[in-house]
Amino acid sequence: MTVYDLIKRFREIPQDLHGEAVLETFAETFDPFLKVANKPSACSTQYDAGNHYYMKLIAPMGIYGYRLCTRTDCLQQLQALIDQHDADPKGFAASLLPADAAAREVKGSGCS
């Protein structure tokens, strides 16, 4: 996945991160996870793999977008994820999903 593909797919990635080298590495490293990642519904009661990938990989950039962390902290979080993956790709992949991940996202009653 390219940075362009990443920011096109996840518009919540703040614009001031688009040119960062770490974002390019992030997109390439996590391509298979990012292709299935999706933002969970606000009324979800159980999360599927795509939801977990989103929360682990994309959510830190969304948190920065709300200015709930600093730009430096966000970039360090992205680099830490890359480093963890590079140190143990299989272990990292396993850490993204809890044992009770749903096969499909389950939304609560009254949620469309």
Mean pLDDT of each 10-residue bin along the chain, 112 residues long: 97 96 98 96 90 96 95 98 98 92 86 74
DSSP 19: T
38 near 51, Cβ under 8 Å?
yes
Q: Both tokens of residue 7?
A: 């920011």
57 near 37, Cβ under 8 Å?
yes
Q: Both tokens of residue 20?
A: 């960062």
pTM of the model: 0.90
The domain locations on the chain are 3-106
